[in-house]
Structures are given as C-alpha cells and as structure tokens.
Amino acid sequence: MGKKGLSERQKNILAYIQEYVDDFGRPPTIREIGSAVNISSTSVVNYNLTKLKERGLLERDADVSRGLRLTDMATEVTEQVVETVSQVVEKVSTAVSNMFRVPLLGNIVAGLPIEVGNGDFSVYDEEDAIEVSSSMISGRHDNLYALRVNGDSMIDAMVNDGDIVIMRHDSDARNGEMVAVWLRDDTTTLKYYYQEGNKVRLQPANPTMDPIYVDRKDVQVQGKVMMVLRQTAR
C-alpha cells in the first residue's frame, strides 16, 4: 500500500511534517501545512491528511491541534523526497558550474563572400558572449569564439540563417572541415574546405549554389566550426 499512488502534494506534506518535527520537536498545525504546500483550504489539507492516514503513513488525533505523527512507513517516503530534491539541486549546480562564456565576435556569411574590412569579424560589442556547457566541447575553451550566420549556403549541413556557430581558432584545415575563411580581397565566408593543387575549393552545402575556387595563397583559415547553436525563432 504505502507510497504507491501518492501525489506530489501528499509527498510534500509528508516531507514538510518531517522537516517541521525535526526543527521544532512537534508537528505543524493544519494551517501551517497548508501555507507550506500552497493549499489555501484547510478542508483540502484535511482531505490529504486523511488519505495519508488511510495509507498507513500518518497517525492522527483529530481532537488535538497538532495531533499528527508520521509512521515508520512514512520515513522511507520522506527520505526519498529529500534525496530526489538533493539530486536535482546537485545536477543544476553542476550544470551551472560547467558553463563558460564564448565571445560573440560578429557575423559570418554562409553565402557569397562579404566584405569585412580587416577580417576580424569585430562588429559586436566586446561584452557580447554565448554561454556554453563544457560538456558540449572537449579540449581547451580559451581559443573559442562565436559567429552569427547570415545566409543559407550551408543549410544541408544544418546551418541556417541566424544560427550561431562556435569556432575554434585555427589557421590550418583538413579537407571536408567547415571553416571560416578570410580571403585576400577582404571578404569572408563559411564553407567546407578542400585543397585541390594550388587552388582551394570552398564548397557550399546547398545544391543551388556553386563552389568558390581561390588560390591557396589568397585564403586564410580563421577557425573551424565546433558546434552549431540553432536559432529556433524564425
């Protein structure tokens, strides 16, 4: 019988009674229970106390203001409630402590190259940053930066207009890696990278668009895409 079928409200009532007894050495009143578990009606509190008594979790003297006592069976339930809450708090604390900030440096075009002047993408305020969990990206985190994507040339790679790409600073690239490149004519773009002799093919992931061919000496890799943060609001 015991804990099976207990509602969250009933579990919270048991946990509160146990906590109150531990703190004050006596059980709480009906009104104190209602206030603690957000029940405004004393009749609703009484209803739930009756259900707990029927399940053998509570002994009650209706003629006494604080005539409540948890049974041994109730101890198991209250311990599980406390343990579950502690686990949730621990997981949240761990997740928060594992977050780090990646600077958002500007825009990168997933389309035709766009002029950027000096090629450093610095069009955002330096305080702009993206929070990322350390579990999402392995390795060092001090060499990462973020760019907001403009254009749709990489849509088949699940990189859409408005998405944010987390980049790792790197001046070298292997064939097939998605990279941000700066071209000698002061333009930049996001593409797949392929070396083909003295040329570099910058390949879009969009069947309606043609690749871009440039001389190797005119291409400067500025970073590799490590992850994509999807922009859900369209």
Which residues are known to be catalytic? 153, 191
14-15-16-17 Cα dihedral, nearest 10 degrees: 50
Q: Which long-range contacts (CB under 8 A, 24 or more apart) does 23-32 make?
A: 26/66, 27/66, 27/67, 27/68, 27/69, 28/66, 28/68, 29/65, 29/66
Q: Please report, for residues 104, 134, 178, the alpha-carbon distance to residue 139 in angstroms, rounded to integers and kept in the order given.
A: 19, 9, 18
- Note whether 65 and 45 are within 8 A (CB): no
User: Which tokens go with 67?
Assistant: 């005539």
Q: Report helix, strand or coil for 74.
A: helix
Which residues make beta-bridge pairs with 225?
Answer: 167
Q: Which residues contact 153 (CB under 8 A, 6 or more apart)?
A: 110, 111, 112, 189, 190, 191, 204, 205, 206, 209
Q: What is the CA radius of gyration of the chain?
A: 30
Please report how the helices 8-24 and 42-54 are oriented relative to each other, as an axis angle in degrees rounded to 10: 90
